Structure 1
Amino acid sequence: MSDFNKDEYLNDLPDMDDLSGQAAPAAASAADGASADSAAAAAGATQEGAAQPAAAQSQENGDSAAADGADKADAADGKADDTLTPLGQAKKEAAEYLEALQRERAEFINFRHRAQKEQERFRQHGIIDVLTALLPALDDIDRIREHSEMDDSFKAVANKIDKAFEKFGVEKFGEKGEDFDPTKHDAILHKPDPNAEKETVDTVVEAGYRIGDRVIRAARVVVASPQN
């Protein structure tokens, strides 16, 4: 759904400006008619010699009618400025409903993204819990691989375990000869090496594991360091 601008939409709506232009002259005509009737009544009363109280009452009635006409004209003008035509009012309401719907849709999309992130976080925590519980067994498998021959059946089981963890994004790291990195290696021993030009991994005691950039366990290693 494309972005919706209610202000631009409502700028094109028809309003009552034209009607207010008609209402004002009508009210003004009523006021002029009332004034003319009042003047005629006053003149007739003077010519015919009517009593002064009757002329005063007629003048008061004429003034009241003129005032009422002026008030109605002002009210019509104010109402015309603020009131849309029925079609315009319907379009305005439709614009407000559409704007509210778009806000609700944006909030739902944000909620869905948050829910997906939370779900992935819980999934990762579950993998970490399982991996942490199996670390001793995985270390034993690595020692058997390194120090003895594994029969075919045991090797198949070990490979299945490795592939299962790879499927869930678990990566094993730590190799002999790689550069020592304190952010992912835990040095349990530094031994001088006359042939070493920089600190390198000499022996991997326990492999490290990580998921993405998150290190679950640092690799425990023996580090060969330059003698000087």
Structure 2
Amino acid sequence: MSEKVEEKISGELNEENTQNETTAENKNLEEELKKAKIEIESLMDSWARERAEFQNFKRRASMDYINSKKEAIKNFVVKLLTPLDDLERVGMGESIVEEAKPFVEGVNLIKRELFSVLERENIRKVEPKGEVFDPMCMEAIALEESGDFTEERVLEVYQSGYEMTLENNEKVTLRPSRVKVGRPIN
């Protein structure tokens, strides 16, 4: 064969080999690209899960903080209720000795200030006299049946209840009102 034919054949073979190598390299690159895309997808999925988990953690931590704050306030105020009841009884007698009047006025001033502080903290005294009896926030300690009643109503309040209103307007009973209930005769 002539040298020109050999060069031509050799050139064609080199070209075929180069094409085969290029095709093989392309296949390798395509496989690496597929692997990289799968890894990216996996990492994105993992990142999204971690982000959602963190958001849930933040929400739970916030709720735990709010609940613990609510419980701390509730526990503190409940401890103050009995002394507040005692302050309310001061000066309730009909006859007060003249020398004791300034003392009683001072106690009443302190009592008003304490109730003002409770009000600012969204804690209010519950006086349900005349209202429909609600066992969720009232404790019946006496009962009177009569044909005059059409439904259970509070006739008398023996001990005032207290409730706290939270930021979301949920009401929490700190102490139920102790009441006498009027009930219709069955």
TM-score bracket for this pair, using the shorter chain length: 0.5 to 0.7
The counterpart of 1:118, out of the listed 55, 64, 84, is 64
- The normalised TM-score by structure 1 is 0.55
What is the identity percentage for the equivalent residue pairs of Structure 1 and Structure 2?
25
Gap runs ≥5 in structure 1 = 1-36, 44-58, 85-92
CA distance in 2, matches of 1:143, 1:181: 26
The reply on whether 1:209 has 2:148 as its aligned counterpart is: no
| Equivalent of residue 152 in structure 1, options 105, 117, 127 | 105
- Structure 1 position 216, deviation (Å): 2.0
With 139-148 and 215-224 compared, the bigger mean Cα shift is at: 139-148
Matches within 5 A, 1:213-224: 213-224=171-182
* CA 154–68 in structure 1, closer or farther in 2 if over 3 Å, else same: same
Residue 146 of structure 1: how far off its partner (Å): 5.8
What is the rounded CA distance, in whole Å, between the counterparts of 1:39 and 1:211 in structure 2? 103
Give the one of 69, 78, 82 matched to 1:136.
82
Instruction: Give the corresponding residue for 2:23.
Output: 74
Query: Could you tell me whether the CA contact under 8 Å between 1:203 and 1:221 is conserved in 2?
Result: yes
For residues 107 and 39 of structure 1, do their structure 2 counterparts lie closer, same or farther at Cα, with a shift above 3 Å needed?
farther
CA RMSD in angstroms comes to 4.1
Aligned residue runs from structure 1 range 4-153, under 5 A: 40-41=5-6, 65=14, 68-78=17-27, 111-144=57-90, 151-153=104-106
Residue-by-residue CA offset, 1:8-60 (whole Å, 9 max, x unaligned): xxxxxxxxxxxxxxxxxxxxxxxxxxxxx9992299xxxxxxxxxxxxxxx8x
Task: Identify unmatched segments of 5+ residues in structure 2.
Answer: 34-39, 166-170
Tell me how far apart the structure 2 counterparts of residues 107 and 193 of structure 1 sit (CA, whole Å): 60
Q: Which residue of 2 aligns with 1:53?
A: none
- 1:218 is matched by which residue type in structure 2? P
SS at match of 1:165: helix
Give me the TM-score of the superposition, normalised by structure 2.
0.65
Instruction: Pick closer, same or farther for the CA change 1:42–1:158 going to 2, 3 Å.
Output: closer
AA matched with 1:190: L
Match of 1:162? 115
More strand per residue: 2
Hey, what's the Cα distance between the residues in 2 that align with 1:39 and 1:225? 122
Distance 1:103 1:109 in 2: 10
| CA deviations over 1:130-169 (Å, ceiling 9, x no partner) | 1121121122234447655783221111111112122222
More helix by share: 1
Aligned residues: 163
Larger radius of gyration: 1
Contact 2:87/2:107, CA 8 A, preserved across alignment: no
SS at match of 1:186: strand
